[in-house]
Amino acid sequence: MQSILVECAWAATRKKDCYLKRKYAGLVSRRGKKKALIAVGHKIIVAAYHIIKNKEAYQEPVLHDNPRKQKKQVKYHLKRLKDLGVEINNNNAGGRFFTEAQKEFEHEIDPIRVSRVFV
C-alpha cells in the first residue's frame, strides 16, 4: 500500500497549482525527497478517509504565501543578480523592495549572458 501512496504522491507533486505540490516543496527542503513523499502520501490517505467518512467532495485547502519566505526569495534573487554582474542602484532606500518606488537598474551584461539574465 505504501508504494501505491508514494506513486500517487509523485503524481500529486507534478500537478499545477496543487496544495499537495506546495506541501511537498515545503517539506522537501527540510526532510528530503523520500520523507516528503511519505508525508504527502499520508495527506492523501487522510483526505481519502475524510471523503469516505463524511461522503463529501474533496475541497483543496488554501495555502497562503508566507511573507517571510517572499522576502527571503527576493533577497536571494537580488544576490544572484549581483553575482551575475547586474548592478542595482537603490535611489529610494526607504522603500520596500519594488512596491513603493521605481528603481533604476544600471547594468552591463555580456551578450553571452543575455539569455540567462532577465531584468
pLDDT, tens only, 21-75: 988 988 998 999 999 999 999 999 999 999 999 999 988 887 777 788 888 888 9
Q: What is the pTM of this model?
A: 0.54
Q: Are 41 and 8 in contact (CB under 8 A)?
A: yes
CA dist., res. 76 & res. 58, Å (int): 36
The three cell numbers locating residue 26: 515545503
Exposure class string for 69-95: b at 16+ Cβ within 10 A, else e:
eeeeeeeeeeeebeeeebeeeeeeeee
Residue-wise pLDDT tens digits, 72-110: 888 999 899 888 888 777 654 455 555 544 444 555 555
